[in-house]
Structure 1
């Protein structure tokens, strides 16, 4: 089958594209190579996908373009069976500086995808949402019936994105699902994320820097679990019209995470602390029982296992990846 992955040169989209190609599907990737983080990471992803296609039965095509281009989106969607909409303007903190860009990309871009999918009778649209839609926690873990009160323009744009997705499913009978990702990490992750920064500093004998007092709680989800949840939507309609949490089913304090990475790589170091940003979430923790019921989803990688995998990958790719983390 033919699968369109928007944002398919990015972190999550790139891993999806790689998996779909490896499974023998024909994949078209749309990505605008936004400079939010280094283009080199996306170029490595594209190279991996092309190599995967060359070694198997799937095919891979890259289209450099923008989801805000409605005509281009319609052209690509018309040729697809499934659409995985991963393209987004990322970054909670930067959304505070430029909220209108987040609306233009995350909301209008999504409407372009949904309109094209409705017109061309797509088998399913899977839209990437975020745990940022919840905002300040009232109780943990979050389930999908909890209030959504985002505290950043990024979170507000992701909430609008998923509400449109579910509304199109209801009004137009469009098979569409919104997956609420909880802090995804793993190989080729954005270099400005906490785990990549902690690893980079510790491996270079520099103290990991924790923002705030480190008591913030995060549900970190390993990329392989995210991919598995998405793949299941190729073969089931059970989640159509729904927003569904995709997390790890476990949490860790940021301070504890920094300590564990420090202890693994440079145990003699002391942690450093810096001022916390107001837009950062206090806590995230996913109740994944809905994903389990609808998709048979069961996260398989604990944070400690995932960090060990990432450290191993970091060491193997340090030459090209580390300079990009250091610049972020």
Structure 2
């Protein structure tokens, strides 16, 4: 059993991650300031091996204190959202996330020197490959292709530099994981979040599955999609990503390595939209209108998944249809209840 601190534990991926850690027998402390969604409840809140601390991951003192009896730190705290979110708040994302990662590393360096902390597992993003011109993206490509143009992608690349610099100067072991296009339940409207428009529909700035479901449930027809719909993504179930993150945390071969965590299945946005449409509007012709794409709407986000498979034994097992069978009804309920 490892003793793990998870920052950003109340977030979208964080919920899946804590659940996986507890299922695997670990003792978990979660840190979250509830700044995005406000207080949330989880099925494991009263689990005997789980404790939630409400606090700010950019506070070095708070993080360092929580690390005193921890073997591992999973650094997941960050401002994050769908594509509309990081186009609306480019400065806030950059500034807040830099403060969080700098403070997290400061605390982890001290805890590693004086305590039992063995390693930090950093949650990065597929957006570090934003500017690539060849696919699939392999670990190491982020250092060879031009840097990301979006402030979000640039900051996630900076997170990886923090990880390596803390090792180079202070000997703090690390693992970097890059989730690709998480799909799951639990995403709701952020507290301070502005809405965005799609035609006459007002949306929460959520990820693509939630956005599409919101528009269909609210009666949009034809369905409006960003760009031409040929954007390629690898939609990966939150539970699979959590399993991969925990494997990367535990595995001896993962020390000072980086991993793409993703399904191997490519899907276009147009195909995703049609699959969701068929679940919600069966028998109604599927028609789309193409809206202008966001500036940083990457055309292809395709990972090489062989390193995680070969070194960690990780493969994502949940198909897109299985994800949608679970997630679409959940999002419909969230829309009807006013949570999205």
Q: Structure 2-normalised TM-score? A: 0.84
Q: CA deviation at 1:78?
A: 2.0
Contact map agreement 1:93 1:279 (CA 8 A) in 2: no
Any stretches of 5+ residues in structure 2 without a counterpart? 190-205
Q: CA deviation at 1:97?
A: 4.9
1:8 alignment partner in structure 2: 9
CA distance in 2 between counterparts of 1:24 and 1:320 reads 35
CA distance in 1 between counterparts of 2:86 and 2:180 reads 18
CA distance in 2 between counterparts of 1:206 and 1:102 reads 30
SS of structure 2 residue aligned to 1:141? coil
2:152 alignment partner in structure 1: 154
2:194 alignment partner in structure 1: none
Cα distance per residue 1:103-140 (max 9 Å; x no partner): 33322311222222222221221111001111133111
Q: CA RMSD in A?
A: 2.2
Mean Cα deviation higher: 268-277 or 121-130: 268-277
CA distance in 2 between counterparts of 1:61 and 1:9 reads 12
Q: Which has the higher helix share?
A: 1
Among 299, 303, 311, the alignment partner of 1:282 is 299
1:181 alignment partner in structure 2: 179
Among 48, 57, 66, the alignment partner of 1:76 is 66
Q: Give yes or no for the alignment of 1:247 onto 2:244.
A: no
SS of structure 2 residue aligned to 1:215? coil
SS of structure 1 residue aligned to 2:107? helix
- Rate the CA distance shift 1:166–1:150 in 2: closer, same or farther, 3 A: same
Cα distance per residue 1:149-173 (max 9 Å; x no partner): 2120000000000111122233332
Alignment of 1:16-95 (within 5 A): 16-35=17-36, 38-39=37-38, 43-44=40-41, 47-51=42-46, 53=47, 58-91=48-81, 92-95=83-86
CA distance in 1 between counterparts of 2:84 and 2:334 reads 28
Among 231, 245, 264, the alignment partner of 2:279 is 264
| Count of residue pairs brought into register by the alignment | 312
- Rate the CA distance shift 1:124–1:136 in 2: closer, same or farther, 3 A: same
- Rate the CA distance shift 1:321–1:26 in 2: closer, same or farther, 3 A: farther
Among 120, 127, 137, the alignment partner of 1:132 is 127
Any stretches of 5+ residues in structure 1 without a counterpart? none
Cα distance per residue 1:160-203 (max 9 Å; x no partner): 00111122233332221111111111111356111012223334
CA distance in 2 between counterparts of 1:310 and 1:230 reads 21
CA distance in 1 between counterparts of 2:256 and 2:31 reads 24
Contact map agreement 1:67 1:73 (CA 8 A) in 2: yes
Q: CA deviation at 1:291?
A: 1.0
CA distance in 1 between counterparts of 2:312 and 2:171 reads 20
